[in-house]
Copies of this chain bind each other. A is one copy, B any other.
Amino acid sequence: MDIQFNMAAVLTKNFRLLSAFPRQCGVVSRFLSSERSQGTKEPQTIGFIGLGNMGGPMAKNLLTNGHKLLVNDVVSASVKELQNEGADVGDNPADIASKTSVIITMLPSSPNVSEVYLGKNGIIEAVQEGSLLIDSSTINPEVAKEVASKAEEKGATYLDAPVSGGVIASQNGTLSFLVGGSKTGFERAKPILECMGQNIFHCGETATGQAVKICNNLLLAISMIGTSEAMNLGQNLGLDPKLLAEVISKSTGRCWSSDLYNPCPGVLENVPSSNNYQGGFGTALMTKDLGLAQEAATGTKSATPLGSVAHQIYRIMCNRGYGHLDFSSAYKFIKEDE
């Protein structure tokens, strides 16, 4: 579970701009065009592996929407919690794969995904022909491709479907899903994902969901540090931070980080910067995502000069104890004079 920022709160409490979000359906409809969805909203039994801060609420939303669940997690307390809500429990990924034809995974990182899918007692070992496998973890696109290929050998369909939106969006069922994989698979997954999210994007073939996630978060990390630098410099030049944020939000420097998630305490309410950088999307998680971006950039020989420096800044922040603070604490790091 690697995104936790409270976009839902942001959406509902202070800002109108994001009410533009329903228009996102435009993207989806481009892919749906006129044909009928092949997916179904009929209740079915769904396997769910990974019941952490993100996965737990997602699983509950599936139950709420009438689906039956067969769950698994290495943390028994998490399993217990879902059991109390009515879920059945599988022994391990292979057990679940042998009993259900739709499985969703929500795991911390690439090695976990490799193990749960390709390891001993893993999904691929027992997956049924025709099954739909949806991985919502944020991982290395190369790992996604490898798992997809193994799934295909068994006649199953794998989708990478990392999410955007964080813990609150997970709880509220307002996540965005960035889906890579076949169109048929996407159509089949869509009604299920809509139980957990608001915006379901089809990004292209296998691993494109991961690719979009990585690119968006790369730009997000850069914008956040850039906003922090501008807000700090402005104040050192004598500007009122609210006024500066207000003018920037109407000028060419405007970005999500300045408008809806300003890192300078007191500029906006209900954002982590105004709450000692508690909650939100942790610096350690952003650092992990930037590591994935660097791997992808090196692998494709893509230059990312600012992305590399952003990665290093977040790395240094982690080393200095900012790992658990929201990633907008870049402002605090840039400003700090002790």
Chain A positions within 8 Å of B, measured between CB atoms, are: 5, 7, 20-21, 23-24, 27, 141, 164, 176, 178, 199, 201, 203-205, 207-208, 211-212, 214-220, 222-223, 225-227, 229-234, 236-240, 243-244, 246-248, 250-258, 261, 291, 293-298, 300-313, 315-316, 318-321, 333-338
Contact = CB atoms under 8 A, between A and B. Distances in A.
A298 B204 CA distance: 29
B252 A216 contact: yes
Contacts of A222: 222-223, 225-226, 229, 306
A288 B238 CA distance: 22
A59 B11 CA distance: 44
19 contacts: A178-B247, A208-B238, A208-B239, A212-B239, A212-B243, A212-B248, A216-B253, A218-B230, A219-B229, A219-B230, A222-B225, A222-B306, A223-B223, A225-B305, A229-B303, A229-B306, A255-B256, A316-B333, A319-B337
Chain A binding surface, main DSSP class: helix
Q: How many copies does the complex hold?
A: 4
Contact of A199 (B208, B243, B250): B250
A166 to B, nearest CB: 10
Given A216-B247, A250-B21, A315-B303, A294 B296 contact: no
Contacts of A208: 237-239
Given A218-B230, A250-B20, A296-B233, A338 B312 contact: no
